[in-house]
Copies of this chain bind each other. A is one copy, B any other.
Amino acid sequence: MPYPEEAEGFQVDGPENFTEFHKRHFKLKPFGDYDVDVKIEACGICGSDVHTISGGWGAQNFPLCVGHEIIGRAIRVGPKVTLIKEGERVGVGAQSYSCGKCKQCLNDNETYCPVEQMDTYGSKWADSGIVSQGGYSSHVRTHEHWVFPIPDALETNAVAPMLCAGLTAFSPLVRNGAGPGKKVGIVGLGGIGHFGIMFAKALGAETWAISRSRAKEADALKLGADGYIATAEEGWEKPHLCSFDLIINCANSSKGFDLARYLSMMDVHGRWISVGLPEEEGQVIKAQNLISNGVLIGASHLGSRREMLQMLQLAADKGLKGWVEEIPIGEEGLKDAIQRMKKGDVRYRFTLTGYEKVFG
């Protein structure tokens, strides 16, 4: 099989027409000694994909092929690659490079590298000027550190969304002590949130789903939640005052969000960690809102390679899988999926399939 010089994928030309996808060829970055070429078999549709192509996060490098919840086959590995074997089933997530040498990179904080970070799509390589293109395509070319072997027990289509949504939920859980004896809340039952519930429970924490209505209660319990809080109900926070050790805020929007009520549920020095990046202007925070229980507010960005491998192994050991709806990749399937994502009409993730048919 000849190695690819180019990939073929579905690009969007800008926010004006962000549901119009165009099948095109585009150049891959020059193949490096540590690179792995991945022939893609499936890709989740992440909320980031929608924020990016719709312009909600600001200007981007268009035309752009998004997608960063990639599962595929390693068809070529560079001469210095040691972490991945040719032929292995692998995943690629939302980040595809960091400097690898700084204090953060050497400390499992490579997703916070202040020197250089490349997103799987939309980032420009400094040397070649090529803009990285994501997984709504035939191939990605990625440094081995950002390519992850997938345990055999995990199904391709169900594991794909773990590569971004799953890790985004998993990293702040383990970094902030989710485990036995801890009470953990997950706000927002979407792609990230449904993994949050699953993983918090798998890690041994008392796990609560926090959503607006009761519409997703049955799902939450099936995902492993021990309890459910519906914030549309009067006095919802009262039974939980000063009791949560950790809440992961996966909400995709901060509109109408009464943060002080959520924070009143935190135990002293509890942690409120946001993983969503709402498009709105942010929230006003006064020290007065934080002082009554000394709560800490933070945010979390993806997770390290070490955490990715740990999460995949946990999922394999406990038989965890994403709840996905499969959609065949193509102009129509993408348009439909993105429109439904915009409305929040998915439980809880789309996975694009049928790559072989479209890309050969």
Give chain A's interface residues, CB within 8 Å of chain B: 103-104, 107, 109, 112, 114, 175, 241-242, 268-269, 271, 274-278, 281-301
Contacts and interface: CB of A to CB of B under 8 A. Distances in A.
Contacts of A242: 103-104, 114
A112 B267 CA distance: 10
A293 B274 CA distance: 13
A152 B299 CA distance: 46
Given A242-B104, A242-B114, A284-B284, A294 B289 contact: no
A109 B298 CA distance: 22
5 contacts: A104-B268, A175-B269, A269-B298, A277-B288, A282-B284
Contacts of A104: 242, 268
Contacts of A297: 285, 290, 296-298
A62 to B, nearest CB: 21
Given A114-B241, A242-B104, A291 B296 contact: no
Contact of A299 (B277, B283, B290, B301): B290
Contacts of A281: 284, 286
A294 B286 contact: no
A183 to B, nearest CB: 12
A145 B68 CA distance: 56
B301 A292 contact: yes
Contacts of A269: 109, 175, 298
A248 to B, nearest CB: 12
Contact of A283 (B112, B276, B284, B300): B284
A299 B290 CA distance: 5
Given A284-B281, A287-B277, A268 B112 contact: yes
B274 A287 contact: yes
Contacts of A292: 112, 114, 301
Contacts of A291: 277, 299-301
A174 B270 CA distance: 17
A104 to B, nearest CB: 6
Contacts of A112: 268, 292-294
A285 B287 contact: no
A294 B299 contact: yes
B287 A278 contact: yes
Given A175-B269, A242-B104, A268-B109, A290 B284 contact: no
Nearest to A299: B290
B301 A294 contact: yes
Contacts of A299: 287-288, 290-291, 294-295
